[in-house]
Structure 1
Amino acid sequence: MGNITVDNLSSNCTIDHTIHQTLAPVIYVLVLVVGFPANCLSLYYGYLQVKAKNELGVYLCNLTVADLLYICSLPFWLQYVLQHDDWPHGDLSCKICGILLYENIYISVGFLCCISIDRYLAVAHPFRFHQFRTVKAAAGVSVVIWVKELLAGAVFFRNSEVVEDKDRHRVCFEHYPIEAWQRKINYYRFSVGFLFPICLLFFSYWGILRAVQRSHGTQKNRKDQIQRLVLSTMIIFLACFLPYHVLLVVRNLWEVNCEFAKGIFNIYHFSLLLTSFNCVADPVLYCFVSENTHKDLARLRNSCFGFLTCSGKTGSKESYPLSSPEASGKNEARREEPELLTKLRPPCPVASPPGTGGTGQEC
């Protein structure tokens, strides 16, 4: 178990961690199984966007990398909770995993905010602000977000994060009641890391909804579809992040003794588990905000379908044109009314009935 000095003893509270042994493993396994392949696919499509000189791809790649880093830390957290909150590794690994857990929240919020602003400028101001919608500008903003959050996470390296409770368990990244230095960083997290970005995000999506409503050329069913997607995006965002930050402020304001810490422990950690679903929701949000994703998915689907149905035909060729990703990525800025979704193309060539003499109908 290792030697624990007196300075590293957390003798203030002994809290029942049952939620960690029941609910946490289920959520961690679910996020691992679903989130890892989904984010790998999202990273691939983000790469296609970058290759097409689309600034949106830069934000998507950074968002996905942050999610994948957190997902890679989940096996350590899973081992931790399955061992009844007894950290089997060193203090450094605890700090790294804790930073990946908490800072992923604010890195994700930052890039989701960037994506929403980018989509707002594309929809509401398609002929303006081109200097802000470039790959170079997106790369610069991404560097700022990563540096800001890494500097914020560096404060945890100044304090010991593996402490020992009264049951002789080595708990990781848990201090009850909350300590004075944590209150300062938590206020920073709430105001700079969450409240300010969420205001920008909601302003951007509100602007998108207004632009869609003002458009006279868009059919009502298309408007309704766009509105549902935007509202779904905001609801998912709030469900993942709002409960945790509300309870973070509650802890900061009123957690001054062990009894309060015990009373809020379960609901606080449930809200923290909700933030993990962000890693599953991000690839879904990517499909919501990117016009080209559906085209890429259609190509992949058509290729697989075509291979299965047409592989037996000698000399068969693709019967559907592949539009240039670069052209499709940049033309949206020049459209008077950029769309948030595109219809999927019909799958594969349709073979002609026998005896008709036809060679098939192109998709």
Structure 2
Amino acid sequence: MDTLLLLIISVSLLPDLTQGQGNTREKERHNKTSIIPRTFRGQTFPVQLPLPPNTTEIMEHSSSGASEVGLRLQSNSTFLYLRGALSTRVIPSIYIITVIVGIPANAAILVLVGAKLRTVSSAIFYCSLATSDLLLLLSLILKMHYHFSGNNWKFGEVACRLVTACFYGNLYCSAHTLACISMKRYLAVVHPFFYKSLPKRSCTAWASLAVWVVFSIAMVPELMLRQSFSVPQLGVTTCHDVLPIDLSYDFLVYYNIGLTLLGFLLPLLVTTACYTSIVWQLNRSHHDWSLYIKASTLVFFIFVICFGPSSFIHFLHYVQLYSSGAENFYAYFNIAVCLCCLHSCLDPFLFMMMSRTAGSKLYFMTRKGKTLSIST
């Protein structure tokens, strides 16, 4: 009789055990395949507010009185980054230098170049570049406060979405505007007669407008998805640094891969091709273009140094996520993005250098013996 009773109990518990194992496998599969690029990953759970100060333990799952979504960190590297000196001291210190130098310099460019919009076609590109750089630098002010506060966002969800979209959108916008400037110089040097026949002001205006429209649309997902989450393990609320492993965020894999290719890699390839052709063409000339060649080479190398690492590290970040699920490359990506921000404060000085070079106006001999002058 006892044996029969034990058998009945075992059979009744078997479906529950099987279902529990199935749920565990499903969670493991979901955690492995749901990847959020460009950020750390976390598991969502409801938390009660207010959080106790300096919380160091994970809060237990509770549905009663929960008023905010919390995230459990998935790796020790995430904890070390969010608590380490790299994110709380080094990165915001770089931002301070960038803001102090970049905001006055770009504002001065807008004042000086803005008066020439109707007469100089290049002024449209430079005003567009200065505007995107200024918006990027202004977003760094709130990001500095966030990092110095121990990666604790205190300005609300709406401000987090706006700052994230403004930061990355204007980062990509600056890179593409610089690529447009390099294409304009390429046409002026390598194809001067074709360049002379172009309606330059309308071409530059439409190109600038297209860049702004494309990346304004590209930032819509950043504005639609929640970006700030409570991390009770650290007692902070992160902004964009940690996103949940959730089906609604899975499309960010393809979205961020597309942004990496379009926002970083494409302008990098275009700028490399343009400046290589410019230097090669001027070296073939019988005139002395050494000053212009040096200036163009310097502009090109600064662009590659500032934007190249972010493209490369972002690509490695994806490879590591897909191969092993590790996410520690995100910290290196944030350092590489600091180099992109440095370019925002260097742009005004590079513009002044290029405009003052002896080769800023190029001269070509036409077939009829007349001189053709082109300003780049």
Question: Same-fold call, TM > 0.5?
Answer: yes
Match of 1:280 among 341, 345, 357: 345
Q: Distance in 1 between matches of 2:212 and 2:194?
A: 27
Return the letter of the residue paired with 1:184: Y
Which residues of structure 1 form unaligned runs of 5+? 296-327, 341-363
The reply on whether 1:264 has 2:329 as its aligned counterpart is yes
Post-superposition CA distance 1:95-138 (Å, at most 9, x none): 11111211122101111011111111222222223454521221
Return the letter of the residue paired with 1:274: L
Aligned counterpart, 1:181: 251
CA contact (8 A) 1:119 1:289 kept: no
Aligned residues: 300
Deviation at 1:152, TM superposition (A): 0.5
| TM alignment of 1:104-119, pairs within 5 A | 104-119=170-185
- The runs of 4+ residues in structure 1 deviating greater than 6 Å are 1-7, 328-334
Deviation at 1:288, TM superposition (A): 4.0
Inter-CA distance 42–67: structure 2 relative to 1 (3 Å threshold) = same
Aligned counterpart, 1:38: 105
Inter-CA distance 238–333: structure 2 relative to 1 (3 Å threshold) = farther
SS of the equivalent of 2:153 reads: coil
Match of 2:235 among 168, 171, 178: 168
Q: Distance in 2 between matches of 1:333 and 1:115?
A: 24
> How many percent identity over aligned positions?
22
Deviation at 1:46, TM superposition (A): 2.5
Inter-CA distance 163–125: structure 2 relative to 1 (3 Å threshold) = same
Match of 2:129 among 40, 52, 63: 63
SS of the equivalent of 1:89 reads: coil
SS of the equivalent of 2:71 reads: coil
Aligned counterpart, 1:127: 193
Post-superposition CA distance 1:278-319 (Å, at most 9, x none): 1112112212443xx579xxxxxxxxxxxxxxxxxxxxxxxx
Aligned counterpart, 2:70: 9
Q: Distance in 2 between matches of 1:127 and 1:239?
A: 32
The reply on whether 1:87 has 2:153 as its aligned counterpart is yes
Return the letter of the residue paired with 1:112: L
Deviation at 1:255, TM superposition (A): 2.0
Q: Distance in 1 between matches of 2:229 and 2:312?
A: 26
Inter-CA distance 257–161: structure 2 relative to 1 (3 Å threshold) = farther
Q: Distance in 1 between matches of 2:126 and 2:192?
A: 20
The reply on whether 1:157 has 2:247 as its aligned counterpart is no
Aligned counterpart, 1:73: 139
Inter-CA distance 209–49: structure 2 relative to 1 (3 Å threshold) = farther
Deviation at 1:177, TM superposition (A): 8.0
CA contact (8 A) 1:186 1:252 kept: no
Return the letter of the residue paired with 2:301: I
Q: Distance in 2 between matches of 1:161 and 1:228?
A: 44
Bigger fraction of residues in strand: 2
CA contact (8 A) 1:122 1:333 kept: no
Q: Which TM-score applies when normalising by structure 2?
A: 0.72
Return the letter of the residue paired with 2:239: C
CA contact (8 A) 1:28 1:74 kept: yes
CA contact (8 A) 2:190 2:278 kept: yes
The reply on whether 1:250 has 2:316 as its aligned counterpart is yes
Deviation at 1:171, TM superposition (A): 0.4
SS of the equivalent of 1:285 reads: helix
Deviation at 1:197, TM superposition (A): 2.2
Aligned counterpart, 2:21: none
SS of the equivalent of 1:128 reads: helix
CA contact (8 A) 1:58 1:139 kept: yes
Inter-CA distance 147–174: structure 2 relative to 1 (3 Å threshold) = same
SS of the equivalent of 2:229 reads: strand
SS of the equivalent of 2:194 reads: coil
Deviation at 1:260, TM superposition (A): 2.1
Deviation at 1:11, TM superposition (A): 1.4
Inter-CA distance 174–138: structure 2 relative to 1 (3 Å threshold) = same
Q: Distance in 1 between matches of 2:197 and 2:50?
A: 56
Moved more, 141-150 or 246-255: 246-255
Deviation at 1:271, TM superposition (A): 1.1
Return the letter of the residue paired with 1:81: H
Q: Distance in 2 between matches of 1:289 and 1:185?
A: 36
CA contact (8 A) 2:230 2:238 kept: yes
Q: Distance in 1 between matches of 2:135 and 2:364?
A: 31
Superposed CA RMSD in Å reads 3.1
The reply on whether 1:198 has 2:252 as its aligned counterpart is no
